[in-house]
Amino acid sequence: MKLNSLNYKVIAGVLFVGLLGVSIIISSVQGQKAPAPELAQYFVVFLVKGPRWTAEETPETNRLQAEHLAHIGQLHDSGKLLLAGPFPDDGNLRGMGIFKTSTIEEAKQLAEDDESVRTGRLRVEVHRWMTPKGSLP
């Protein structure tokens, strides 16, 4: 079969329609958004310098620090505190923890039970935090 200009036009038209169809399909697939991940709720507690903050090392601040570390250990052992640690710079934020509790009030109360918070050396800020389910225990 000999191809003439009409055959070329038909072939070109078929290719054009086919490519257009493929292009539309690709565009519609690319335009689809992935389903939102299921989120788990946690509470982030920031420990901030309180009104009685001092960087000075004294027998009292050493005692408070020892009690603070013991409190963190107990919370971790209970499964309510997943992660915790200090901020090593000299800013107002002194540390943070990620709590897995039922309510923000529970997380706040657990953090406020720290002797360093009760004495005013530190104060707490608590924020609800969401992350994809399964990314933390």
Q: What is the pLDDT of residues 94-131, one digit of tens each?
A: 999 999 999 999 999 999 999 999 999 999 999 999 99
The residue among 47 and 14 whose pLDDT is bigger is 47
Fold category of 39-132 in CATH = Alpha-Beta Plaits (3.30.70)
Confidence at residue 37, expressed as pLDDT on a 0 to 100 scale: 84
Confidence at residue 21, expressed as pLDDT on a 0 to 100 scale: 45
Q: In this structure, are residues 123 and 117 in contact, taking their beta carbons and an 8 Å threshold?
A: yes
- Percentage of the chain exceeding pLDDT 70: 77
Q: What is the pLDDT of residues 43-52, one digit of tens each?
A: 999 999 999 9
Tokens of 73: 């250990």
How do the domains of the chain map onto residue ranges? 1-32, 39-132
